[in-house]
Amino acid sequence: MKSSADARPIPVVLLGGAGYVSGELLRLLCLHPRFRVVGIGSDGHAGQRVVDAFHHLSGIGLDQLRFEPFEGLGRHFEKDLHLGLFAATPHGATASLLDTLLLRAERAGARPHVVDLSADGRFTDPEAFAAVYGLPHGAPHRCASFTCAVPEHYRGVPPAFAAQPGCFTTAAVLPLFPLFAMNLCEEGVFICAVTGSSGSGRTPTAKTHHPERHANLSAYSPLAHRHEPEMARLLAAARPDCAPSVEFVPHSGPFVRGIHSTIRATLREPSPASRIVAVLNEFYAASAFVEASSEPPALHEVVGTNRCRIGVAVRGRTIVMTSVIDNLVKGAAGGAIQWMNRLFALDDDTGLRLPGLGFC
């Protein structure tokens, strides 16, 4: 990757409103040495100052930035022919909005780099998207243009656009992918994961607002969550001949940020935990963000960062791995910036070597 400390800023625009992921993208992009936010689209907040929706971002260079209507973002493609576009709008709505913007970019001769954080870019087959999400894909002709993977699992640069997997999926496949890739475990895996309330979005519901989640813990959509087939599909990419069987039970936790996953699998041969730790660390040796050990990790180690910490325990052929990520960073905004860094030939960790919050 290129080193470009003194090169010109790279303009980026955000397709997304006042949601938590958009706010986290803005926070990270303000600290990025190369990317400069030139626009953010939101029909519902058009004309409002961005810092009025995200008060915690005041005083760091965004005070004059205002939300634009989605159609207004097209003007940026005419001004800057090589800019970045992050899509953080809801699944089902993103594809058609992106398609409209990309058509305008094509007419202007622009070649934007796109990273989709919604589910719309995660399926090369629009029928598969419809089967999981229960609605037709908004731009089926664009599906094949997106490469969906955790950045650590795709070694090159996507030929067109990138799609960041879901946060649960990221937390699950980071520990499991190396074991599948090296044929070290059986194909059936069980995943139990607890997510913070920020994963439910900014608009509260009867089950997600604070009085319901505080001092509480509950499972939802057991063996029926829409990230389950996404996990299986990404794990299948680890080895051509494997057909992963994933059983997934998500939980709502009483904290705001983070995902804690407990993953059970069966090794093909008994192996000490130290060997599995070594396998994982060797596999991720080129990554600045993923690290394994024999000690179970805690959420506070990663909150506010783009890191994933993995703990490994083995008894006989049974392996249990625990993983922790910040759902808003590694599971969304941080992973998306990793992709955008790569699309612009920057090092993956540019702007993402972040200290943890520690006490939150």
Q: Residue 159 falls within a domain, yes or no?
A: no
167 catalytic per annotation: yes
Q: Contact 4/346 with Cβ under 8 angstroms?
A: yes
Rounded average pLDDT over 125-152 = 96
pLDDT in tens, 19-50: 999 999 999 999 999 999 999 999 989 999 99
Q: Are strands 245-252 and 218-219 parallel, antiparallel or unpaired?
A: antiparallel
pLDDT in tens, 170-213: 999 999 999 999 999 999 999 999 999 888 887 778 777 778 88
Which of these is catalytic: 30, 143, 148, 167?
Answer: 167
Rounded average pLDDT over 346-356 = 96
Same domain, 186 and 323: yes
pLDDT in tens, 214-243: 899 999 999 999 999 999 999 999 998 999
Domain region containing 94: 10-148
Q: What is the three-class DSSP state of 139?
A: coil
Residue 210, classified by CB atoms within 10 Å of its CB into exposed (0-12), middle (13-18) or buried (19+), is exposed
Q: Residue 333 falls within a domain, yes or no?
A: no
Same domain, 65 and 126: yes
Same domain, 214 and 305: yes
Same domain, 52 and 173: no
Mean pLDDT for the chain overall: 94
pLDDT score recorded for residue 6: 55
Share of the chain above pLDDT 70, in %: 98
Has residue 82 got a pLDDT over 90? no
Same domain, 17 and 51: yes
CATH number of the CATH domain containing 317: 3.30.360.10
Q: Which two tokens stand for residue 95?
A: 């594809």
Q: Contact 36/12 with Cβ under 8 angstroms?
A: yes
Higher pLDDT, 78 or 262: 262
